[in-house]
Every structure is written in structure tokens, then in C-alpha cells.
């Protein structure tokens, strides 16, 4: 199973940049989207259906904001929209598709960059998300949690760890959370296969950051331990240029 996760920073903007043609070439089985920024009626569903995908979307109530989706060439046995926590589901931040006994999640963790209130919201989300996943694992132990986590785990995951030490996305408490999340029973699939520096998934639009590769690795595909030994390879597809993020790729046998 070839799984792609992609924060598209607007599904309509990305398709205007030929996202669908790129997807046709990659021929992934499952694609998880974050930050779709569209209501269901605004999403170009037909473009994905023409590529052979079933599509599932969970939009924010606020127009032009957040939103996640999963498209799949294999029909899921069940799709779950949201976490059943109103303040988070209002923002359209998580969708889960079950494929037999394996579940694939597309999640868009909040950013805390706009101020203290949103940083506090982010930290509360992280605590509640951990609790939600702990409970979910009791019924669905085989999980692949893809998405934009809005956190760099270690210094190797950010181009300038010294200057960004107090930046949202690289705060000590955020890094501690993602470390404890992995320790709760997950494998960071990319780092399982690749220990090298200078591998990023997001670049600021400012200061010519992407051509200079001044980036952050904030997008992950976390695989739960019961299926971690079924991973074949994991990649960052940095050549894709439809967003300020680039996709992550996971090849896993399930």
C-alpha cells in the first residue's frame, strides 16, 4: 500500500497547480490531505474520481480554513469524521478510514504561531489527541497517523534550531509531546529509514526559504508498533511544488 500525506494549503489552489496530474503519476493507493480550506461543494471531487479514487472530506465550519480529507483506490470498510470533540471537530482537523483491521488517519494539528491563545489551544489539543489515540488503540491497534503535526521533533528536523528554540513548532514542550507520543507506541516512519539532516517538509514563503532549503520537518506518517515491521520504505517528496509543504510517502504492506 502506497500512502501519501500532503498539506496542500488549499485544495483548490493545489489543483490549479496540476495536483491531479501529479497524483496520476504517483499512483498512490491512499492520499491523505490536510488544510484543504474548502467546503465539500468547493472541492473538485470529479478530478479525483476520474483517477479512480473514492473521496472522503471533513471540512471546518469556518469557510476557507483547515479541513482534512482522504482519497483511496480501495474502499474503506468505515470512515470516521472527527474525534467527537466539538471544539476540534468544528475546525475539521481529523478523519479516519478503516481498511479491515488497519486504520489510516489524516490529521491537521493546530498551529500556535498566531499568539498565546492559539498556542494554549494547541497544547490542549495535543493532550486531548494523545488521550483520544490511547483510547482508539484499544479497538484499533493498527494505526497509520499521517498529517501535519506542526512540530519539529529534534534539532535535525529544523534548519536553524538555535534561533528557533523559542518558536512555536519547536518549543521544548511541543518536542517533549511528540517524543512521548512516539514512545506511546509509534514509529516515525521517515526517521526509521533516513537519519540524515536537511530533510524538510515545510518552507516559509519568505526569504527564498525553499530554494535555500531553510525548512522544517513537521509532516509525519506515524505507524503503530503492531504494523511497524510491515513498512517497506518512507520518503519525503520534496519535488512536489503545489504548496508550501511537500508530501510524505510511505510504502507499507497491510
Contact 46, 71 (CB under 8 A): no
**Under 8 Å between Cβ of 31 and 254:** no
**HEC sequence for 62-109:** CCCCCCEEEEECCCCCEEEECCCCHHHHCCCCEEEEEECCEEEEEEEC
Q: Where are the beta strands (DSSP E) in the chain?
A: 2-7, 30-34, 54-58, 68-72, 78-81, 94-99, 102-108, 142-148, 186-188, 202-203, 215-216, 219-224, 231-236, 248-252
What gap in Å lies between CA 252 and CA 254, rounded to an integer?
6
148 catalytic per annotation: yes
The alpha carbon of residue 160 and the mean position of all alpha carbons in its chain are separated, in whole angstroms, by 22
Among residues 89, 101, 148, 183, the one annotated as catalytic is 148
| Catalytic (active-site) positions | 148
Amino acid at each position: 500500500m502506497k500512502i501519501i500525506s500532503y498539506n496542500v494549503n488549499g485544495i483548490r489552489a493545489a489543483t490549479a497547480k496540476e495536483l491531479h496530474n501529479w497524483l496520476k503519476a504517483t499512483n498512490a493507493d491512499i492520499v491523505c490531505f490536510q488544510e484543504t480550506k474548502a467546503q465539500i461543494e468547493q472541492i473538485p471531487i470529479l478530478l479525483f474520481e476520474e483517477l479512480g479514487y473514492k473521496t472522503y472530506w471533513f471540512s471546518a465550519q469556518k469557510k476557507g480554513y483547515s479541513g482534512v480529507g482522504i482519497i483511496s483506490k480501495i474502499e474503506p470498510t468505515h470512515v470516521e469524521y472527527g474525534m467527537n470533540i466539538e471544539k476540534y471537530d468544528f475546525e475539521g482537523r481529523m478523519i479516519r478510514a478503516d481498511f479491515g483491521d488497519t486504520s489510516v488517519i489524516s490529521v491537521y494539528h493546530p498551529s500556535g504561531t498566531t499568539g498565546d491563545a492559539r498556542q494554549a489551544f494547541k497544547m490542549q489539543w495535543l493532550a486531548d489527541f494523545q488521550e483520544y489515540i490511547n483510547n482508539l488503540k484499544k479497538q484499533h491497534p493498527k494505526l497509520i497517523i499521517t498529517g501535519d503535526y506542526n512540530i519539529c521533533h529534534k534539532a535535525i528536523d529544523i534548519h536553524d534550531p538555535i534561533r528557533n528554540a523559542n518558536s512555536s513548532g519547536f518549543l521544548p514542550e511541543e518536542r517533549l509531546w511528540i517524543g512521548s507520543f512516539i514512545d506511546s507506541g509509534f514509529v516515525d516512519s521517515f526517521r526509521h529509514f533516513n537519519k540524515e539532516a536537511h530533510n524538510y517538509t515545510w518552507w516559509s514563503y519568505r526569504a527564498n526559504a525553499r530554494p535555500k532549503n531553510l525548512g522544517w520537518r513537521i509532516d509525519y506518517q506515524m505507524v503503530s508498533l503492531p504494523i511497524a515491521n510491515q513498512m517497506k520504505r518512507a520518503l519525503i517528496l520534496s519535488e512536489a511544488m503545489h504548496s508550501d509543504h511537500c508530501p510524505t510517502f510511505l510504502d507499507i504492506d497491510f
